[in-house]
Structure 1
Amino acid sequence: MTYQEGLNQIDKATQKITEANQLIIDSIMNAFLFTWQWWIALVMLVVPWIIWGIFRERESSARIFSAGLLVIVLTEILDTVGVSFGKWAYPVKVIPVATLNFSFRLSVLPVLVMLLLQWKPRFNPYIKAIFFGGFSAYVGLPTLAIIDLYKKIDWNFTYSFFILTLLYLLAHWFSRIDTFKNIENVNR
């Protein structure tokens, strides 16, 4: 394949992606919008952040929020890869974008991580990570599947367990970096 043939093939692929996105938008706007599943997804998008705003520890919220942002970025990347390779899908979405599930990735997961990070901060992070990975993979995802907010195609919940457990441990490590301690000491 020549360079120009590659560019032409990318143009064709982009057209197919655009057509697929339009099918998804049509489905969401004409079949899913304002269904009870859509409302649950909306609540999942908004309520965790309200809970975070109420229960966050003000003196360490920047440090913990930074770890939450890390979770958002990493889950965004991993989820986009998984959806792109047909491992799972998100049929009902609040916002009609093909690969995105804002409710779970950008709200529930990071807020749960942030709350766990600030709850008993000296508690064993490995136990918290296993709890987070287990609860998210074996309770959260199957529940989302039952209500059509998640569709497992070619994936095993155990893979999600290991990924989410490691994700929590990474967020824990990130939230404990010395730079944050220096910043918090300066601000006091």
Structure 2
Amino acid sequence: MSEHQRAMLNHIREVNQHIENLVTDYWKAYSGIDTWQFWLNAVLLIIPLVFLLIYIDRRRVFQILFFGYTIHVLMNYLDITAVLKGLMYHPYSLLPMPQSHLTLDASLIPVAFMLTYQLGYNRRINQYLLAVVIGAVMSFIFGPIVHAIGFLKMYHWMSYWVLFIGDIIEYIIAYWLTSFFFHFYRNDEPTS
């Protein structure tokens, strides 16, 4: 490793440490356990998971959870990229970590997408149509609500339309991957 490369890596590490310290200080002042934002985040994390436990189709639990996990992963990649590029930010989080948006990306949105997927699967509703519907609900109804209460800040060219397109893409990719792997699962079952 060259001296220049080592110096750049050390600088990146130092900047990351500085960012982590800033985020921790910000979290303690504005998003810590003594704020209403913390408790709203906690409720928005727990209630959807309880709702999912009650209403998930137990016959297809692994299929639905795989779909939700895929949504969660895709959403986190896109969200972290948007935050790092300065397109959006989540001012209030449950944990004092940079790019921590556990509540929305780990619970509320994936659960909404999973239950939508389950509805389409059980009632044979076109999943592409459902992708548009849930994308519209999350982007044009839920998005403005979380923006209005300060849980989402958008910058530059980020808009509800961009969120809408992102939600549709995430849903469709999760649907394709779930269908792809579920196809192998079904073909691997022993016949009796």
TM-score (norm 2): 0.89
Match of 1:29 in 2: 28
Residue 138 (structure 1) shift: 1.4
Name the count of aligned residue pairs. 186
Match of 1:20 in 2: 19
Residue 72 (structure 1) shift: 1.0
Residue 3 (structure 1) shift: 3.6
Percent sequence identity over aligned pairs: 22
TM-score (norm 1): 0.91
Q: 1:109–1:9: structure 2 CA closer, same or farther, 3 Å change rule? A: same
Q: 1:143–1:180: structure 2 CA closer, same or farther, 3 Å change rule? A: farther
Gaps of 5+ in 2: none
Tell me how far apart the structure 2 counterparts of residues 123 and 162 of structure 1 sit (CA, whole Å): 20
Contact preservation (8 Å) 1:90, 1:99? yes
Residue 158 (structure 1) shift: 1.0
Q: Find the partner of 1:162 among 160, 165, 180.
A: 165
Q: 1:156–1:111: structure 2 CA closer, same or farther, 3 Å change rule? A: same
Moved over 4 A (4+): 185-188
Contact preservation (8 Å) 1:24, 1:96? yes
For the pair 1:8 / 2:7, whether they are aligned, the reply is yes
**CA RMSD of superposed structures (Å):** 2.0
After superposing the two structures, state which structure 1 stretch, 78-87 or 138-147, moved more.
138-147
Q: 1:64–1:12: structure 2 CA closer, same or farther, 3 Å change rule? A: same
For the pair 1:97 / 2:61, whether they are aligned, the reply is no
Gaps of 5+ in 1: none
Residue 40 (structure 1) shift: 1.2
Tell me how far apart the structure 2 counterparts of residues 9 and 54 of structure 1 sit (CA, whole Å): 50
